[in-house]
Structure 1
Amino acid sequence: MAVKLAEHPIRQALHEEINARPSVPLVAPATVVQLSWLLPREATSERLLEHWMRLRNLPGAVLELDAAAQSLLRWGGLRIKRERHAEFHSYTFYLDGDHDLPAAILSRLPEGWLEASPGEVIAATHVRLRPISDTPPSEFLDAADPFGPALVASKISDGNAWVLSDFQLHEGFIQFIVLDAAMTPKQAGRAVQRLLEIDTYRMLALLAFPVAKEVGAFLGRAEAELAELVAAMSRAASFEDERDILARLTHLAAEIEHSIAASAYRFGAAAAYSALVRQRIAELREIRLAGYSTLQGFMERRFAPAMNTCAAVARRQEELSQRSTRNSQLLRTRVDLELERQNQQLLAQMNRRVKLQLRLQAAVESLSVMAITYYGSQLVHYLAKGFEPWLHIKPELATAVSIPLLAALIALGVRRVHRVVEHEG
């Protein structure tokens, strides 16, 4: 009885990821040529697919595999594999028989098709897979120039094959010679695939090296400027000096952060590609030949120093950012403390002014009470004088009696007004 279970929407895609890029089985003799293009930012999936469809639509083309990450077709005696990666895409061409020049394969392609590929070539690799029975290793080892480029030679796949290369460009291609002693077709395909990936990932990783040189020059200037600003911090004699130093520190920190933002992706990609190169070399399971460098040894001498430089520059950049931030925070704290001190002084001055204003206001109010009392007493005097025939009270006496009463009433009125204002405030 079939059981229907609710599946995660991307379960199938995740499962197929482990089988996304299978190697192509090979039987010696065979020739493999791979070209990898670094994609421009404006390259779209539609444009890449359009370029691929020009091959798919050729008469006689037979599609063997069609997936998002990798496609494979057979046409005109060639097997053509297309791979799409995050920042590059590649075409790998397989042809039976040993061909010493890549042109033997590339000349079979439709005219103008290679030139129309989006991007710029970053890696070009030529692998010749030959049976060791037809080509003994001594044929290549004895022909190597002792004063020429170093020859890399080792046994791979637990001794079932030999690999040789001088890592020089021949007709624009890095060439590997693989001598098959006892590999199965799948082993041969995996070995060739690893060599192709080693060369491609090596070139992609090295894209960070020019960036590291440029960033290193900037860091030298930035470190000198930071040291100068830190020294100026200890010599700052006034608040204005500290504010000027803080402005320069903030500007320097912004430049460092801009440099990090511009180079972080490239340095991160270099670290990832470098790890893939080391992994692919380890998967070859090399056996050293006396007197010759292995792929691992060659990469440790020629490739690893560049990657170490990139990693060191990336660390140096992060450390400089932390130092500039730390010094900026320290100086900003000093500036903030000075601003707080100035604010406290300003508040103290304002408090003194308010007290003076209150005293002045109290004095004015006292004078106002006296003035109003005076005018009020005059009104009482005139009233008493007018009613004197009927009240029989002397105006002077009435005026004298009214003065304290008027003063008390006016003072109480002023106090009541104060209370109302304070309550509303």
Structure 2
Amino acid sequence: MPDQDSPARTLGHLPQHPLRYKLNNEVHARPPVSLTHPKRVSYLALIHDGTTEDGELQQLRALADAFARPLPEADGGHLQLDVGDFLLKWERHNEFSSYAFFCTPRADETDARHGALPRVPPGWLEALPGSVIVATHIELQSTSALGPKSVMDGLISSGRQGVAAQVADGAAWVFTDFMLTDGWSRYLVLDERLTPRQAGRTVQRLLEIETYRVMALLAFPVAKDVGRLLGRAEGELADLMDSMGTATTPEDERNVLSHLTRLAAEVERSVARSTFRFGAAQAYYRLVTSRIGELREQRVESFPTIGEFMDRRLAPAINTCEAIARRQEELSGRIARNSQLLRTRVDIELERQNQELLGQMNRRAKLQMRLQETVEGLSIVAITYYASQLVQYLAKGLHAWLPVSPEAITAISIPVIAGLAALGLRRMRRKLAAEEGTH
């Protein structure tokens, strides 16, 4: 630790990374809203559906203008707009944007079914870009105004399956049934001894649980569609493997390889379309379990906790998505291995055919060699014949000076000419063979 009496050391002229402050502030982004009871919260999450951040900010600016308030700067895709009548917290995520409205109910506002929505100008919600994926109301009350036992008795008498738990080490009670009524899910939070920041964190965790569980379930219909594709593809792959085992001709193997290639393309297309959704489901599910752990639930007699409800309802769906994703990857690998095996068979068959072709070419080369040797023999005969005729003509011209007849000279020249021609052809073949060996 530096001496406190020494002057503070600064970074001086050291270069700063351009992302340093942004990365440092990321851990402080999206803080929960401090809440005191009573409070009503209405929350919407909308899938982007191609909407841009500028389009959402334009709608937020229209709301600020309606209350003659300036729109705060959107820092990192989130902002809080306090118009006096209510507080709006907006956040933009990768796939969705969330709008949370916080208001304190007035004495004449006894109907809590619509949450904080009556404070929002008419028509503004309908103009929000995107499609609604989550809509929930949360009512924050104190245990002195509404007793937990009366709420539990009401849930039991209604016959509806409710979820209840004490959270924050018993500092509050949470009640819900995860059902949609008029398109909205509802939570009731009874504050026993929460601090304002604890209450804000508790409400934020409930909103995140509600959002991420639905976002995680987006993969479940995809898993069903992929499951039907995998069932058909696995049966088709088994039939193709039977066909590969009974294939007797190269044409049969090429047909099987063509069908395997088409099946591989179909499965890979499914992998490309579903990998992101399955990966996102796992990420969202981890966030759900993390937020449930942060609630620090304590079980209430006769009611399941939020964690138990998710283990029984959400976890099987996520496990199904995980199993389908793993099954899809395994099928893709099996198709690739079988395709490689079949290609190996086709390559071996082509190599065998090439060897047969080379053998035929070798046999033809030997035949051509024999023919060439025959032709060479005939060439020697032809060379000997024509050369002996020249000798004969020469002997006849010199007959007066020669001691023997031209016919004798011609007869004697024939073996000499034939020997010289054969010797010349032999030396030529050796020279060509030596040149071929050097290349």
> Aligned-pair distance for 1:224?
1.7
How do 1:78-93 and structure 2 match up within 5 A? 78-93=86-101
Equivalent residue letter for 2:43? Q
1:280 and 2:291 are equivalent in the alignment: yes
Write the deviation string for residues 178-222 of structure 1: whole angstroms up to 9, x where unpaired: 111110110010000000000111111111010111111111111
Distance 1:199 1:257, change over 3 A: same
Q: Partners in 2 of 1:265 and 1:323 — Cα distance?
A: 22
Tell me the distance in 1 between the aligned counterparts of 2:53 and 2:379.
89
CA drift at 1:251: 2.5
Between the aligned partners of 2:158 and 2:103, the Cα distance in structure 1 is: 34
Evaluate the alpha carbon distance shift between residue 147 and residue 44 of structure 1 in structure 2; reply closer, same or farther with a 3 A threshold: closer
Point out the more displaced range, 352-361 or 2-11.
2-11
Q: What letter is aligned with 1:89?
A: S
CA deviations on 1:250-287 (whole Å, 9 max, x unpaired) are 32222222221111111111111011111111110111
Match of residue 73, structure 1, among 72, 76, 81: 81
CA shift at 1:53, angstroms? 3.3
Question: Where does the alignment leave 5 or more consecutive residues of structure 1 unmatched?
Answer: none
Residue from 47, 62, 65 that aligns with 1:54: 62
Do structure 1's residue 245 and structure 2's residue 256 form an aligned pair? yes
SS in 1 for 2:321: helix
1:175 and 2:186 aligned = yes
- In the TM superposition, 1:32-181 aligns within 5 A as 32-40=41-49, 42-63=50-71, 66-97=74-105, 100-101=111-112, 103=114, 105-144=116-155, 146=157, 148-181=159-192
Q: 1:259 to 1:390 in 2, by over 3 A?
A: same
CA deviation map 1:147-169 (0-9, x unaligned):
64311111111111111111111
CA shift in 2, pair 1:234/1:104, >3 Å: closer
1:332, CA displacement in angstroms?
Answer: 3.0
User: Is the partner of 1:47 in helix, strand or coil?
Assistant: helix
* One-letter identity of the residue aligned with 1:95: C
Q: Tell me the residue number matched to 2:6.
A: none
| CA positional deviation for 1:77 | 1.5
The 2-side partners of 1:188 and 1:68 are apart by 24
**Number of the residue aligned with 2:3:** none
Contact persistence 1:60–1:76 (CA under 8 A) = no
Q: Is the contact between residue 34 and residue 92 of structure 1 (CA under 8 Å) also seen in structure 2? A: yes
Mean Cα deviation higher: 149-158 or 111-120: 111-120
Find 1:335's aligned residue among 346, 349, 368: 346
Following superposition, the deviation at residue 106 of structure 1 comes to: 3.1
Query: Aligned partners of 1:395 and 1:112: how far apart in 2?
Result: 132
- 267-276 vs 414-423, greater mean Cα deviation: 414-423
Shift of 1:22: 0.9
Contact 1:257 1:321 in 2 (8 A): yes
Superposed CA RMSD: 2.5
Contact 1:130 1:179 in 2 (8 A): yes
Corresponding position of 1:423: 435
**CA shift for structure 1 position 317:** 1.3
Gaps of 5+ in 2: 1-8
SS across alignment from 1:303 = helix
Q: State the alpha-carbon separation in 1 of the partners of residues 164 and 29 from structure 2.
A: 31
| Aligned residue among 201, 210, 225 for 1:214 | 225
Q: Tell me the SS of whatever aligns to 1:9.
A: coil
CA distance in structure 2 between the aligned counterparts of 1:112 and 1:396, rounded to whole angstroms: 131
Calculate the TM-score normalised by the size of structure 2: 0.88
**Inter-partner Cα distance in structure 1 for 2:199 and 2:60:** 26
Q: Could you tell which deviates more after superposition, 61-70 or 170-179?
A: 61-70
Say whether the 8 Å CA contact 1:39–1:119 is kept in structure 2. yes
SS of equivalent to 1:364? helix
Asked if structure 1 preserves the Cα contact closer than 8 Å seen for 2:115 and 2:137, the reply is no
Q: Letter of the aligned partner of 2:295 in structure 1?
A: L
Contact 1:81 1:91 in 2 (8 A): yes
**TM-score (norm. length: structure 1):** 0.91
* Alignment check: 8 A CA contact 1:33 1:93 kept: yes
Q: Distance in 2 between matches of 1:209 and 1:256?
A: 18
| Whole-angstrom distance in 2 between the partners of 1:62 and 1:47 | 17
Shift of 1:291: 0.3
More off after superposition, 401-410 vs 341-350: 401-410
After superposition, the Cα gap between the structure-2 partners of 1:375 and 1:179, relative to the gap in structure 1 and judged at 3 Å, is same
Equivalent-residue separation in structure 1 for 2:278 and 2:10 (angstroms): 51
Residue in structure 1 matched with residue 374 of structure 2 by the alignment: 363
1:375 aligns with 2:383: no
Which letter does structure 1 place at the counterpart of 2:51?
Answer: A
Q: Select which of 389, 402, 421 maps to 2:413.
A: 402
| Matching residue within 24, 27, 43 for 1:15 | 24
Give the number of aligned pairs: 424
d(CA) in 1 for partners of 2:203 and 2:96? 20
For residues 365-413 of structure 1, what are the alpha-carbon distances to aligned partners after superposition, in whole Å with 9 as ceiling and x for unaligned? 2212221221222223223323434556633233334334433444455
Query: Is 1:31 equivalent to 2:47 in the alignment?
Result: no
Question: 1:63 & 1:335 partners in 2: Cα distance?
Answer: 69
Pairing of 1:315-326 with structure 2 (within 5 A): 315-326=326-337
Confirm whether residue 311 of structure 1 aligns to residue 319 of structure 2: no
| SS in structure 2 at match of 1:218 | helix
Task: Kindly provide the CA deviation profile for residues 294-327 of structure 1, in whole angstroms up to 9, marking residues without a partner as x.
Answer: 1111111121111111111111112222222233
Choose 50-59 or 112-121, whichever is displaced more. 50-59
